[in-house]
A and B are shown apart, each in its own frame.
Chain A
Amino acid sequence: MEYLIGIQGPDFVLVAADNVAASSIIQMKHDYDKMFKLSEKILLLCVGEAGDTVQFAEYIQKNVQLYKMRNGYELSPAAAANFTRKNLADYLRSRTPYHVNLLLAGYDEADGPGLYYMDYLSALAKAPFAAHGYGAFLTLSILDRYYRPDLTREEAVDLLKKCLEELNKRFILNLPSFTVRLIDKDGIHDMEKLPVGPK
Chain B
Amino acid sequence: MALQDVCGFLETLDDISPCTYLPNEMGYMRRTPFEFDRDSAFHFLPPPQQCSRKNRAPTLFSSTFSSLSPHQQPFQLSHGTTTLGFIFQDGVIAAADTRASCKGLICCPISQKIMPIHSHLVVNTSGSGADCMLWERILTREMRLYQLRHRKRLSVNGAAKLLSMMLHPFKGTNVCVAATLCGWDGEETQETLQSCMEIADVKKAVEQDSNVSAISDESAQGSVKMASINEQDEISKDTQALNPTSTFGGRSGPRVCYVCSDGLQLKGEIISVGSGSPYAYAVLDDGWRWGMTVDEAVALAREAVFRATHWDAYSGNNVDLFHITAHGWRRRDREDLKEEYYREREREKKKIKEREKERQKREGDELVEGEGDIYSVHCG
A-side interface residues toward B, CB under 8 Å? 21, 23, 25-26, 28-29, 32, 49-52, 54-55, 95-97, 99, 120
A-B contact count (CB 8 A): 47
Which of A28, A52, A54 is packed against the most chain B CB atoms within 10 Å? A28
* Contact (Cβ within 8 A) B260 A25: no
Contact of A29 among B164, B260, B268 (CB under 8 A): B268
Task: Tell me the B51-95 residues at the A interface (CB within 8 Å).
Answer: 56-57, 59, 61, 65, 68
Instruction: Write the chain A residue with the least CB distance to B56.
Output: A49
Contact of A28 among B61, B263, B268 (CB under 8 A): B268
Chain A interface main SS type: mixed
* Contact (Cβ within 8 A) B263 A50: yes
Knowing A23-B260, A28-B266, A95-B68 touch, does A51 contact B171 (C-beta < 8 A)?
A: yes
* Contact (Cβ within 8 A) A28 B271: yes
Subset of 14 A-B contacts with CB under 8 Å: A21-B264, A21-B266, A23-B260, A26-B281, A28-B258, A28-B268, A49-B59, A50-B262, A50-B263, A51-B262, A51-B265, A95-B68, A97-B65, A99-B61
* Contact (Cβ within 8 A) B260 A50: yes
How far, in Å, is B342 (CB) from chain A's closest CB? 30
How far, in Å, is A20 (CB) from chain B's closest CB? 11
C-alpha spacing A78/B296, complex, angstroms = 54
* Contact (Cβ within 8 A) B263 A29: no
C-alpha spacing A153/B193, complex, angstroms = 55
Which residues of chain B are near A51, meaning CB under 8 Å?
164, 168, 171, 260, 262-265
Which residues of chain B are near A50, meaning CB under 8 Å?
57, 260, 262-264
Task: Tell me the B250-292 residues at the A interface (CB within 8 Å).
Answer: 258, 260, 262-266, 268, 271, 277-278, 281
* Contact (Cβ within 8 A) A49 B57: yes
* Contact (Cβ within 8 A) B171 A23: no
Instruction: Write the chain B residue with the least CB distance to A97.
Output: B65
C-alpha spacing A26/B265, complex, angstroms = 15
How far, in Å, is B203 (CB) from chain A's closest CB? 35
Instruction: Write the chain A residue with the least CB distance to B278.
Output: A26
Which residues of chain B are near A49, meaning CB under 8 Å?
56-57, 59, 262-263
B-side interface residues toward A, CB under 8 Å? 56-57, 59, 61, 65, 68, 164, 168, 171-172, 258, 260, 262-266, 268, 271, 277-278, 281
C-alpha spacing A21/B59, complex, angstroms = 18
C-alpha spacing A99/B60, complex, angstroms = 10
Which residues of chain A are near B171, meaning CB under 8 Å?
51, 96
* Contact (Cβ within 8 A) A29 B262: no
Chain B interface main SS type: mixed
How far, in Å, is A97 (CB) from chain B's closest CB? 7
Instruction: Write the chain A residue with the least CB distance to B169.
Output: A96
Which of B68, B263, B281 is packed against the most chain A CB atoms within 10 Å? B263
C-alpha spacing A23/B171, complex, angstroms = 16
Instruction: Write the chain B residue with the least CB distance to A30.
Output: B268
Which residues of chain B are near A21, meaning CB under 8 Å?
264, 266
Instruction: Write the chain A residue with the least CB distance to B258.
Output: A28
C-alpha spacing A52/B61, complex, angstroms = 14
C-alpha spacing A142/B60, complex, angstroms = 26
Which residues of chain A are near B65, meaning CB under 8 Å?
97
C-alpha spacing A55/B170, complex, angstroms = 13
C-alpha spacing A96/B262, complex, angstroms = 12
Which residues of chain A are near B278, meaning CB under 8 Å?
25-26
* Contact (Cβ within 8 A) B266 A29: yes
* Contact (Cβ within 8 A) B168 A55: yes
Instruction: Write the chain B residue with the least CB distance to A54.
Output: B265
C-alpha spacing A49/B261, complex, angstroms = 12
C-alpha spacing A54/B59, complex, angstroms = 19
How far, in Å, is A26 (CB) from chain B's closest CB? 6
* Contact (Cβ within 8 A) B266 A32: yes
How far, in Å, is A121 (CB) from chain B's closest CB? 10
Which residues of chain B are near A29, meaning CB under 8 Å?
266, 268
How far, in Å, is A98 (CB) from chain B's closest CB? 10
* Contact (Cβ within 8 A) A52 B263: yes
C-alpha spacing A138/B125, complex, angstroms = 40
* Contact (Cβ within 8 A) A23 B264: yes
C-alpha spacing A28/B259, complex, angstroms = 12
For the complex of A and B, list the 6 residue pairs with the smallest distance between their C-beta atoms, beginning with the closest: A51-B263, A50-B264, A50-B263, A50-B262, A29-B266, A29-B268
How far, in Å, is A51 (CB) from chain B's closest CB? 1
How far, in Å, is A54 (CB) from chain B's closest CB? 6
Which residues of chain B are near A96, meaning CB under 8 Å?
171-172
C-alpha spacing A23/B271, complex, angstroms = 11
Which residues of chain B are near A99, meaning CB under 8 Å?
59, 61
Instruction: Write the chain A residue with the least CB distance to B172.
Output: A96
